[in-house]
Chains A and B, each alone.
Chain A
């Protein structure tokens, strides 16, 4: 590792995050369940597969347009299980609360967790609470873990992505990242930019899995750019996407242009990236567009037969360039 103390960029979901995970965690914990480093681990218990995942939530501010820390803590874990092809069933939640945190705020957060769990049809079955001295944590951190089971389908794996597969996303990109940035820094960007935070289990189970996708991934930190690079590296083929077909709402696009942020790398909390054969793509797309979380679904590109694991984009003006793995935090430009 090239650093002695952990820099903030290690938490941003880019190349430095994966360097830390591989060099420190995977090196020590490595086993056949962890090795794939996908959204959930697949475990075999008494000849039945279950999916298991965990995630910690440290969002600032706790409330932002479109959601709050509690809602993403439930949706995030539901989505990590769902994109693996599992039906999410049970969730645990651990709260680390800073001394002096207002009870009313906690009630609001817990209520939205309840609503999100009802929406996703999962049960919160176990939990833990720790209160730390003032200043030892920033207001509230939540960890959720979840288990899910597989129906008739087996677990999805990005190694199964094939040349010719189409790539679909279920709607506008980057809205979570920009909504949180706007709220955190009082940027005052108007245009009703809301986080896309949503549980995707129903969308994936009803509208995607029946059409046998090769893989589905959850594009959160590091955005679409991170997921496409991981997928390309894992399957070994190049990926080609089309800039004009990327769904990004006009207010988010304008905010990204102004701040110098690439929407391809901005965070989402309700976006699945689906790799699916050409013949099934249209049917899946039609079905997804009928679902409330998939109305703006779009085919954004395909997996090429070229080997090399690189991601390419055809820009609006017809040129080609590479999409590399995101590096660290996306920081707005100066001028």
Chain B
């Protein structure tokens, strides 16, 4: 009878995913695979959490020279257009009797005239940081004479939470709460990148959290239509190293079929409850991406049934076309065409407290990651 060795591994134990010996053997495998590819490879991560994890673990410094990790449009704050920030900044001017609730790093993102929510707050606007959109309903009940606007920024990970909040507000008949819907969707952005002739991407590290919600079916087009390798990857350092191994094998064996490294969290059909909720509450529209412009069906706005929760419609704030801050390379950085250190402002006139572009502001922005972790190349 075949005997199995019982290994005492807890895959949910963080230490396992940071094990030095395993990391060393994976790096050896990456080194030997990289020798089989006699050219430089650009692997793009399309999630801000990956950007931070790669920078924090120092992975970039220990990869072979021909393996480049580049950041894509994966930071929800960074991809919010300057025009949309200008729109948000209109709220406190239109109505003095309102509370703006937002996730933390939105408050420092500059609009076209370098104005931010943080500045609006210092000048007297009631801007509050919340950790869950559901907190807004409590604020709305406690401040029944004020209007509460939540800044709805995020990808498919955040959108279900806000959908649940809106549904709850609808059921409880809370009328002084609305959301500025600025949600973005990942697959249409990938398609945009691949259709644009300027892209330098050879493979994608696909987002783990987004994929846990949407499943992996929405990525099948990558290999079928574009012959583009991609692997859905978790966020621990060993997840990322293992993801890179899978991607290098996809490239070497010319087998771009989607691979799932993060199988402990991602299934083919995704989170059915979240998907159903989003289908009910939202519909897609051509969202405006920073430095890119509108991308077809790449954002969520409210469906007819929940339209009354759209803050832009409620307060009649029309879309604004605005230019990006002069000299800022955020656009090129979001498309993976430039590295943060190539921007003339990086670390000089642009730093996390006095940022010119959003990539330096958001905790998940590529420039913020490179600045925080002192990355120089």
Residues of A near any B CB (own CB < 8 A):
2-3, 5-9, 15-16, 185-187, 244, 250, 253-254, 257, 260, 262, 310, 315-324, 327-329, 331-335
Contact = CB atoms under 8 A, between A and B. Distances in A.
Contact of A315 (B19, B57, B118, B130): B57
B303 interface: no
Nearest to B52: A260
Given A321-B58, A335-B76, 4 more contacts: A187-B131, A316-B23, A319-B62, A334-B158
Contact of B105 (A257, A320, A322, A331): A331
B58 A317 contact: yes
A174 to B, nearest CB: 15
A185 B135 contact: yes
Contacts of A7: 118-119, 122, 353
A319 B352 contact: no
B351 A315 contact: no
A20 to B, nearest CB: 11
28 contacts: A2-B353, A2-B354, A5-B119, A6-B122, A7-B118, A185-B135, A187-B132, A260-B49, A260-B52, A262-B56, A315-B58, A315-B237, A316-B23, A316-B237, A317-B59, A317-B237, A318-B20, A319-B59, A319-B61, A321-B56, A321-B58, A322-B374, A327-B352, A328-B352, A332-B131, A333-B363, A334-B158, A335-B154
B61 A253 contact: no
Given A319-B58, A331-B105, A335-B76, A16 B374 contact: no
Interface in B3-27: 14, 18-20, 23-24, 27
B338 interface: no
A334 B59 contact: no
Interface in B26-74: 27, 47-49, 52, 55-59, 61-62
Interface residues of B, number: 56
Contact of A316 (B20, B77, B119, B372): B20
B139 to A, nearest CB: 12
Contacts of B18: 244, 316-317
Nearest to B375: A321
Nearest to B207: A335
A277 B132 CA distance: 47
